[in-house]
Amino acid sequence: MNARAATTITVAEPTPAVAAEPTPQLRRAEPCTMVIFGAGDLLHRKLMPSLFHLMGDGLLPDEFAVLAVARSQGDDDWFRTEVGNALRTFAQGGDGGPDAAAVRRFASHLHYLPGELDDMATYAALRRRIGDIDAAFPGGRGHLFYLAIPPSLYADAITRLAQTGVAPRVPDPRQRPWVRIIIEKPFGRSLASAVELNACVRRAFAEHQVYRIDHYLGKETVQNLLVFRFANSIFEPIWNRAHVHHVQITAAESVGVEHRARYYEEAGVVRDMFQNHLLQLLSLMAMEPPVTFSADAVRDEKVKALRAIRPITPDAMHDYAVRGQYGPGTIDGRPVPGYREEPDVAPGSATPTYAAIRFMIDNWRWHDVPFYLRSGKRLPHRATEIAIQFRKPPHVMFPMPPGETMEPNTLAIRVQPQEGITLRFEVKVPGIEVRTASVDMDFSYAEAFGELEHDAYETLLLDCMLGEATLFTRSDEVEAAWTAVDPILDYWAGKRPEHFPNYAAGAWGPAVADQFIAREGARWREP
């Protein structure tokens, strides 16, 4: 029977240990100057609100300073006004927005330097401005450089930072003052370009100085994956090929390309979502238990999982990957154009906006267990979910109505929105006869702990200032992920799709994707 019911989980109070240690407090960042290259959308929407909230929580010291470097002409006062306006739009606060006095206090830590990043004079001026800011706060301080600029500018900016001595190599991670650099995704656009960029980075910095950021890893539910797997002994015995039928990882977006069409035409869905976000989730799901909860131990195991992904050959590509592109349709009751009708998109574009890929992990734990990853734009709604479908019982002794089968047990981890975990299992329906029904046991972060107050960037920025690299990707991890997707990109680049568009906006993707997963005796979930 297909009836479904739901229940909720109550969060238990932790059991005190015999000699309980005091609850550790959040560590406060050390005094530092943060230099941000670029003053665009990322700075206004994410970086400034995140730093503002960290300061409001008392996690940034009074000696903290930000220096933005960008092409726009302006001075410190102009930049502080710009950021103040952004905070009133994007920062959290009461009904009237963030506190005006708090905004002014935060703005007093902000500085601005106009300049072209391909001009060596900019770096000379930058060195002087950093010196002036640091002189006002004697005692030594760290320096954090954030590349919030187009990926095509990464290599030149990194090289010039090193050549001019603005951001020197620091061989010893314990050395003070520290120097670190944050690099936004995408890190390369192929394996070859990622290897080349990594080589450029290694010439300028030691690996411990480099923080390759993926905001997905800062999300509360993603971080909870490690706790869920390795702090609960009931799941580890069944987290393997003997009990898991398949895993689905879905990242659905209801929006189109919006203002990113020029970037998206070059990238497509695989570069935009699979190489970074989705393969990060796969590695966390598939990795072995690390020896310790430390950056290198966790990242070592993630790399092993990525390296165990079975290479996809051109002859077998049809069995492992399908793609799609959205046409006109309806989202939330309103008509929307197809991808080829979007501004800055070529009328005959072959760029995929949807992909479904089956990855096989050839190791002892996951042999013959498919990991289905899919992502697409203009799907019915925004949702990111990891779903583990367990194998059905080997023998069903209970009577079932004709044409019906017992639903498999499923563990679904919701990354966004409405972060939480749902476990679906079978129970007996009350009554004289024996009938079964599927019920959901549901845990919601919002219900258990209140609404999540921190953006992923807050976690990641603070971790970087503290030198905590667990949630950042390492060079070998980046290259392992590109190794997994490069054959797909190469194959599709040589095979122009004549069937685009093949799904309407508002649908869950093309029909070929449903046929693709059905061949393995499965069907897509609708998160």
The answer to whether residue 95 scores a pLDDT higher than 70 is no
Q: Which residues contact 388 (CB under 8 A, 6 or more apart)?
A: 244, 247, 285, 410, 411, 412
- Given a contact cutoff of 8 angstroms between Cβ atoms, the answer to whether 413 and 228 are in contact is yes
The confidence score (pLDDT) of residue 361 equals 97
Across the range 416-424, mean pLDDT stands at 87
Q: d(Cα 440, Cα 4) in Å, to the nearest integer?
A: 7
Spatial separation of the C-alpha atoms in residues 255 and 487, rounded to whole Å? 28
Confidence of residue 19 (pLDDT cuts 50, 70, 90): very low
In DSSP terms, 255 is beta-bridged to none
Distances (CA, A) of 510 to 318, 352, 513: 15, 11, 6
Tell me what pLDDT residue 408 has: 87
Q: Which of 72-76, 282-286, 418-422 has the lowest mean pLDDT?
A: 418-422
Structure confidence at residue 17 as a pLDDT band (50, 70, 90): very low
Reported confidence tier of residue 96, pLDDT bands at 50, 70, 90: low
The stretch 19-38 carries a mean pLDDT of 74
- How far apart (Å, rounded) are the C-alpha atoms in residues 375 and 377? 7
> Is the model more confident about 294 or about 397?
294
Look over the chain and give the mean of its residue pLDDT values, rounded to a whole number. 89
- Number of residues assigned to the chain: 527
Q: What whole-number distance in Å separates Cα of residue 114 and Cα of residue 134?
A: 19
Query: How many CB atoms lie under 10 A from the CB of residue 175?
Result: 10
Q: Identify the structural domains of the chain with CATH numbers, from first to last.
A: 32-212 (3.40.50.720), 217-455+472-518 (3.30.360.10)
**Which of the residues are catalytic?**
277
The residues, ordered by sequence, that sit 6+ positions from 89 with a Cβ below 8 Å of its Cβ are none
272-283 confidence digits (pLDDT tens):
999 989 999 999
What are the contacts of 82-89 at 24+ separation with CB within 8 A?
Answer: 82/39, 82/44, 83/44, 83/48, 83/107, 83/110, 86/43, 86/44, 86/45, 86/48, 86/49, 87/48, 87/49, 87/52
Q: Which of 492, 224, 512, 520 is nearest to 359 (CA)?
A: 520
Please tell me the distance from the alpha carbon of residue 406 to that of residue 518, in angstroms, as a whole number: 17
